[in-house]
Amino acid sequence: MLAFLDWMLTLPLNLEQEFRREVEQLEAEQRMKYVTSFERSGIEKGRQEEALSLITRQLNRRLSGEIEHTLVERLQGLSVEELEALGEALLDFTSVADLTSWLEGHF
């Protein structure tokens, strides 16, 4: 799908060069990089995947073993912000029941 959109949005060479110059100028003026909606989506997905990976490792270590696949599936539905909150809460967990209770109260 993205390849199709990229193809559809391809500018003629002269317009593409002009567009790139204008984006570079805007970035320089604003002292920030222009990020497309596709990039923002990819960044957010990457943040969520990394947070999920970290939280899963922390839970496995904190709870002394692999947590059940069904619990991991529930974690996959959490946003980055929810995973960050879980990351703080899990410091007080002593059992899988604590995780289950947290998920029921927050998800």
**Given the structure tokens 């990394």, which residue do they identify?**
50
Closest CA to 67 of 87, 46, 91, 97: 97
Q: Give the C-alpha separation, 71 to 103, whole Å.
A: 9
- pLDDT, one tens digit for every residue, the chain (107 residues): 556 656 667 778 888 888 788 877 876 777 766 677 888 888 899 999 999 999 999 999 999 888 999 999 999 999 999 999 999 999 999 999 999 999 999 86
Segments making up each domain of the chain, as ranges: 14-106
For residue 4, what pLDDT is reported? 63
**Given the structure tokens 């570079």, which residue do they identify?**
24
